[in-house]
Amino acid sequence: MGLEEKLPSGVLLSTVEGLAGYMRKASFWPATFGLACCAIEMMTFGAPRFDSARFGMEVFRPSPRQADLMIVAGRVSNKMAPVVRQIYDQMAGPKYVLAMGVCASSGGMFNNYAIVQGVDHVVPVDMYLPGCPPRPEMLIDAILKLHDQIQHTKLGSNRLAEIKDDEKTALLATPTSAMKGLMR
């Protein structure tokens, strides 16, 4: 005899964190930020064939103050990096960043002085999407994984403890400069 059997039909039990997570994941408003060829695939994601409206992303917002997801699609030049940061700072919280494509994730084939070697040097990235360019199906998969991550995010003091644990784990991780790859 559980509590569920004593309640009338149509009653739903949940937590505040569960409801808030469900509402936040179902109402993403992405900012338009296409920098290179990946932007074409991002635009395709918003077109009728892939229909981003199915995921609560009706329109790409023209203003960062109306957006909570920044999809950085393409390479970020050193000249564009301060603009990316300014747009990120103007976004309302909670805010999320998706690095779309190998150029946004790691600089891609552009290993030179003009290109930032990963947008995570400019803004904190929540999800990396590999590919050159990644297909719209891959973007859908990344957004669904981000939805899952957001739905299970804790609130209040629980969130602060989660952030502290994540920062501690990141500080203990091996820096990329110390990593040794397979040399041939």
Each residue's pLDDT tens digit, 39-71: 888 888 888 888 888 877 777 888 888 888 899
The CATH code of domain 29-173 reads 3.40.50.12280
* 125 within 8 A of 119, measured Cβ to Cβ: yes
Nearest alpha carbon to residue 102 among 179, 38, 181: 38
Burial class (CB in 10 A: 0-12, 13-18, 19+), 77: middle
Sheet holding 69-73, edge to edge: 30-31, 69-73, 96-100, 127-129
Annotated ligand binding at 37? The verdict is: yes
Predicted pLDDT of residue 181 = 64
Q: Is 132 annotated as a binding residue?
A: yes
- Residue 183 predicted with pLDDT over 60: no
Q: Binding site annotation covers 103?
A: yes
- What share of the chain has pLDDT > 70, as a percent? 91
Q: Tens digits of per-residue pLDDT, 71-122? A: 999 889 999 999 999 998 998 888 889 999 998 888 888 888 888 888 888 8
| Domain coordinates in residue numbering, the chain | 29-173
Mean pLDDT over each residue of the chain, to the nearest integer: 83
pLDDT for the residue 3: 63
The answer to whether 46 is a known ligand-binding residue is: no
Amino acid at 169: T
